[in-house]
Amino acid sequence: MKQIFTALLTLIASPALADFTQTPMAPPPQGVIDRALDDPDCFLPETFNALEMWDGTTLDANTRVHIVPCQVAAYNVVSKIIIERRDDEGTSSTFDLQSFADYSSHYGWTASDTLTNAFILPETGHLAHFHKGRGIGDCGTTGSWEWTGYVFAMIEYRVHEACDQSLMPDAWPIIYQRNPRPESAMRPDPVIDTEEHNSATTDCSQAPYCEDRRYFKDFLVSCRQPRTDGSRFCSANAYVHNSGAPAGFDYQLRVSRDSREAPLRLSLIAVYEMMDRSKPMTVSVDGERIAVLTPNAIETPGSINDYFIGPQDVTDRLIDAMRAGSDVSFTYRSENGHNISVPFSLSGLTASLLWMQENAGR
């Protein structure tokens, strides 16, 4: 089994309404399908029309998922999973080919850009996979993922490699099972959120966590429910994705403000490679060094892996540079002694900050 990383497939579609909930579900353009299936691991008969077995659903106003067959065998249909996105200010779509974690006792965890016998439940956004080791389905793998608002996060993965009719799929050994509320950027922030944000009649423990959300290019921007004084916490977020990771990403960039009049805060969240707090951090925009932060200038007010830039004048200078730039990089030394450089695209940041300002309440 080979490790395959997420590929980006972008194609400009015909102008349409930005709100997917108001337009009929339709398959991706043929060019997107052709590029997704241009893979030596895809085997389809020459006369086979992939659209005949295409499936898809609308996940939210800005996002759709497409399941496109790649191999058709006697008891397994292997498919590519494509996410279609459209931001609120645009009339064109982008298409991202998804990768998912896979497991075997021989190779451990690897990544695959296909799922087997895949289907999605539109009412929950849960995506499922069932790879049969043989026709009767007494061995193989099963997995489930939940749409978090930006990525599919793994819920559970089971593996049973002995084809001996000893276990039914729902009794196969669990290799991974997510906690009910994983540590993820898609959940309420334990530093800022309080009980007042929870409603007695609304379940805010599930995505989208009672937030108002919009997508602007490479940013997800969200505002939480108003506090009693009418103010709202809002943030613009970009990610370094890793679909094989439980949270769906390795790094997160967050620009946030606690209310309309509050200053903007800038932070980097590292899921695995945490920072050596005795070493400095460098922030560069478009390759130009904007700030060198001493350890004392980096704050971790509520989480050891959420690194806030402390001095407000430095934060303001960085955000001004980011508004005008195309990419930002954070460079630091990890606790493991690795030199880490984390790049983020800044496409969509300016629109995200304007939307935050308009929706931050009082």
208 preceded by a cis bond (ω within 30 of 0): yes
Map residue 108 onto helix, strand or coil.
strand
pLDDT at 293: 95
* CA–CA dist 351, 88 (Å, integer): 10
Cα-Cα-Cα-Cα dihedral of 148, 153, 156, 158, to 10°? 150
pLDDT at 308: 94
Q: What is the largest CA-CA distance in the chain?
A: 66
* CA–CA dist 197, 45 (Å, integer): 54
Using the 8-state DSSP alphabet, how is residue 195 labeled? G
pLDDT at 283: 96
Domain spanning 209-359, CATH architecture? Sandwich (2.60)
pLDDT at 206: 55
* CA–CA dist 52, 37 (Å, integer): 15
pLDDT at 90: 66
Q: What are residue 281's phi and psi, to 5 degrees?
A: -125, 140
pLDDT at 199: 44
| Environment class of 251 (CB within 10 Å of its CB; exposed 0-12, middle 13-18, buried 19+) | buried
The token pair at 315 is 């934060």
Name the pTM for this structure. Answer: 0.50
* CA–CA dist 70, 79 (Å, integer): 5
For CATH 2.60.40.1880, the residue range(s) in the chain are 209-359
Q: Which residue has the tokens 């695995």?
A: 272
Question: Which helix H or strand E contains 190, and what residues bound it?
Answer: none
pLDDT at 267: 94
* CA–CA dist 323, 308 (Å, integer): 18
Q: Which residue has the tokens 């077995």?
A: 53
- Give me the tens of pLDDT residue by residue for the chain, a chain 362 residues long: 334 333 333 333 333 445 788 888 889 999 999 999 998 888 888 778 878 889 999 998 889 999 999 998 888 999 999 999 887 666 788 999 998 889 888 888 888 899 999 988 877 788 989 999 988 888 999 999 988 887 888 889 999 999 998 888 888 999 988 765 434 434 444 444 444 444 445 556 555 567 888 888 888 888 888 888 888 889 999 999 887 766 678 899 999 998 878 899 999 999 888 999 999 999 999 999 999 999 999 998 777 889 999 999 999 999 999 988 899 999 999 999 999 999 999 988 888 888 887 777 66
